[in-house]
Amino acid sequence: MKTVTLIAGLALLAACGADGPPITPSLNTTLSVGSDGLHSSTGVSLRSGPVTLGARF
């Protein structure tokens, strides 16, 4: 139980930005309709200061 509490506390500390800039998550979804049907794409990104890491599915 102590390990779970420690990990949760460190995650909360990192998320609030007390040890540096906060990590900002982002989720984007796009739906489009064309002559060849319905298309969708989803993108996920994490931003910390000037650095952004993302993936599109």
Domain that holds residue 31: 23-57
The domain tally of the chain equals 1
- Residues in the chain, total: 57
Residue 57 has pLDDT above 90, yes or no: no
What radius of gyration, in Å, describes the C-alpha atoms of the chain?
17
Tokens of 49: 């200061």
Whether 12 is in a domain gets the answer no
Q: Once rounded to an integer, what is the mean pLDDT over residues 37-42?
A: 93
Whether 16 is in a domain gets the answer no
Whether 36 is in a domain gets the answer yes
Q: What is the pLDDT of residue 32?
A: 94
pTM score above 0.85: no
Are 46 and 23 contacting, i.e. CB atoms less than 8 angstroms apart? yes
Quick one: what percent of the chain has pLDDT higher than 70?
A: 82
Whether 3 is in a domain gets the answer no
Whether 57 is in a domain gets the answer yes
Q: Once rounded to an integer, what is the mean pLDDT over residues 34-55?
A: 89
Q: Which helix (H) or strand (E) holds 10?
A: helix 2-16
4-18, 19-33, 39-53: which has the highest mean pLDDT?
39-53
